[in-house]
Chains A and B, each alone.
Chain A
Amino acid sequence: MTLQHYLVISAILFTLGIFAVLTRRNAISILMGIELILNSCNLNFAAFSRFMTPPEDISGQIIAIFGIVLAAAEAAVFLAIILAIYREFGSIRPDEVDTLKG
């Protein structure tokens, strides 16, 4: 396995996440796309930490752990906002929530 194997997997995950965010018309599906993007980021951190630094340096893995914590916090706030939106609008389609549109 080379570094490029991991980078290619991570690039595919990132692209699929972007695709989900762009095309899906459901807030929870968009959250899934964001989770894919964050996972590809963390995979990159771990891969660079393994291949580009000396073996005893594991800073990249710690950054990836911080990334997982941030993803958890983000998911909690995201779902809270989705629940509030659902209560207010009766739908979680992002294009129906357009009160601020001029």
Chain B
Amino acid sequence: MEFTLKNFIFYGFALMTVGSALLVVTVRNIVHAAFSLMVTLFGVAGLYVFLQADFLAATQVIVYVGGILVLILFGVMMTSGRLEMRIHIERGQLLLGGIVSLALLMLLLTVIANTPAWKNLTDDGTELPPTTERIGELILNGPFLLPFEVVSVLLLVALIGAALISRKEVRD
């Protein structure tokens, strides 16, 4: 593989994603973990750009970084009273969890390396047109109309349920 600027940026994003994800699961301070998660989410958005999924990348940044991460930080603040919380980890669990995760990673890597249908599929670097228009067409006027409506109802139900669960109970 030749060493071009594009490859350099790709490996940068890959390292950023994997490295910050490693921080998310190892760091002891939960706020630091949340900010590492933000870097991971940005890294994944960058990988979406490399996959020529521009709309997906924008959605990732808006929904994950702008929405879910803020929710997580609110959760931290409302359940600890301050912005400092240490995460308790048991040593035996760390060992067992590490063994299970490593075995899983080995399994996945073996499958990825040995599946014939996935080999030699390189990105030829052709520029595709922006996807936003086609996604809108497929969602609102195509085969994904029904799943889209179902997901929107699900989102409404989940939000109403979340508001109902988290409110203070009123006793009369």
Residues of A near any B CB (own CB < 8 A): 1-9, 11-20, 22-26, 28-29, 31-33, 35-36, 39, 42-43, 46-47, 49-52, 55-56, 58-59, 61-62, 64-66, 68-77, 79-84, 86-87, 92-93
Contact = CB atoms under 8 A, between A and B. Distances in A.
A81 B144 CA distance: 31
A18 B101 contact: yes
B163 A35 contact: no
A46 B51 CA distance: 7
Given A5-B14, A8-B112, A72-B155, A58 B138 contact: yes
Nearest to A87: B168
B68 A28 contact: no
B74 A79 contact: yes
B151 A80 contact: no
A58 B134 contact: yes
26 contacts: A1-B50, A6-B47, A11-B108, A11-B112, A19-B25, A20-B24, A22-B100, A23-B94, A23-B98, A24-B25, A29-B87, A35-B64, A47-B51, A52-B117, A68-B56, A68-B59, A68-B63, A69-B154, A72-B155, A73-B155, A79-B75, A80-B163, A80-B166, A83-B75, A84-B166, A93-B88
Contacts of B22: 16
Nearest to A28: B75
Contact of B68 (A16, A50, A71): A71
> Chain B contact residues: over half helix, strand or loop, or mixed?
helix
B97 to A, nearest CB: 4
B139 to A, nearest CB: 7
Contacts of A93: 88
A11 B30 CA distance: 24
Interface residues of B, number: 84
B162 A9 contact: no
B3 interface: no
B46 to A, nearest CB: 11
Contact of B131 (A5, A36, A61, A84): A61
10 closest Cβ pairs, A-B complex: A22-B97, A73-B158, A80-B166, A80-B162, A11-B108, A23-B97, A19-B101, A80-B165, A20-B25, A15-B105
